[in-house]
Amino acid sequence: MNPHNDKIEYLLRLGDSALIQGQRLCEWCGGAPALEEELALMNVGLDLVGQARNWLDYAAELLDDGRDADHLAFRRDERAYRNLLLVEQPNGDYAVTMAKQFLYDAWHFHVLHGLSASGDERVAGIAAKALKEVTYHLRRSGEWVERLGDGTEESHQRMLAAIREVWRFTVELAGGDEVEQRLHAAGIAPDPAEIAVAWQAKVADVFARATLPLPEPASHFYLSGRRGLHTEHLGLLLAEMQFLQRAYPDATW
């Protein structure tokens, strides 16, 4: 395989996952359970959108086909997106939102930590900057999982239900594919097996403190965000997110 194409593919995965998770969080604007939480959610969402911009900028430069980061974000079809299945799932109640956020953050933190030592200086720089933000994201979402899991009987049951709802999508967090393995061999990306072990350890630690049982590892899933095979939820999200750019292509302000 072409290392150049592998790098583009990987950058799209990082950028798309951050973008879609950021979009989901921003859907809470005006509907969060408390003003402080709304501000926190919007800040995390904006962090992720900014990170997505950096990854997609680099991907656009490597593609060198006239598209920029905005075009990649707003003018691609669903099958061209490479985000994790987890992040495209609906927000649900606040327990579902925080379960999704924590599971993603625990993976994202270790990926960025590994990428900060990448042999590609541009990748290492983007990752190091993003890691500072995601360190806070992980601490915040982990604390919410603990607070809800080890809180009242109602909050405990809601967090249990949230984990049951989204756990099957963690199959993509617990292992890599040939693209990631080749990039690891080239010194660009971290070892996906090491990321999976670190992610599992972090999840097990937080779940134990939250008095939540650790589910069995998610088994093979017939869909794959890495291959552009998404759930029905991504198309609906993109229809809203991309509406303005699709309705008025190439418009300027």
Residue 147 scores a pLDDT above 80: yes
Long-range contacts of 134-138 (CB under 8 A, 24+ apart): 134/47, 134/105, 134/108, 134/109, 135/109, 137/44, 137/47, 137/101, 137/105, 137/108, 137/109, 138/102, 138/105, 138/106, 138/108, 138/109, 138/202
Terminal C-alpha separation, the chain: 41
d(CA 141, CA 134): 10
Band of residue 253 on the pLDDT scale cut at 50, 70, 90: low
Domain regions of the chain by residue span: 3-247
Q: What is the mean pLDDT of the chain?
A: 95
Residue 3 scores a pLDDT above 90: no
pLDDT tens sequence across 25-83:
999 888 878 888 889 999 999 999 999 999 999 999 999 999 999 999 999 999 999 99
Amino acid at 51: Q
CB–CB of 134/74 below 8 Å? no
Instruction: Please spell the DSSP secondary structure of 220-243, one letter per residue.
Output: --S-BGGGTB--HHHHHHHHHHTH
User: Quick one: pLDDT at residue 36?
Assistant: 84
d(CA 59, CA 55): 6
Share of the chain above pLDDT 70, in %: 99
Query: Widest CA span of the chain, in angstroms?
Result: 55
User: Quick one: pLDDT at residue 31?
Assistant: 83
pLDDT tens sequence across 174-200:
888 999 999 999 999 999 999 999 999
* Residue 135: burial class (beta carbons within 10 Å; 0-12, 13-18, 19+): middle
Band of residue 2 on the pLDDT scale cut at 50, 70, 90: confident
* CATH architecture assigned to 3-247: Up-down Bundle (1.20)
Q: Can you say whether residue 82 is alpha, beta or left, with left for phi > 0 and alpha for psi between -120 and 50 degrees?
A: alpha
pLDDT tens sequence across 84-136:
999 999 999 999 999 999 999 999 999 999 999 999 999 999 999 999 999 99
Residue 252 scores a pLDDT above 80: no
Band of residue 219 on the pLDDT scale cut at 50, 70, 90: confident
User: Quick one: pLDDT at residue 1?
Assistant: 61
Q: Across 33-192, where does the E strand assignment appear? A: none
CB–CB of 89/162 below 8 Å? no
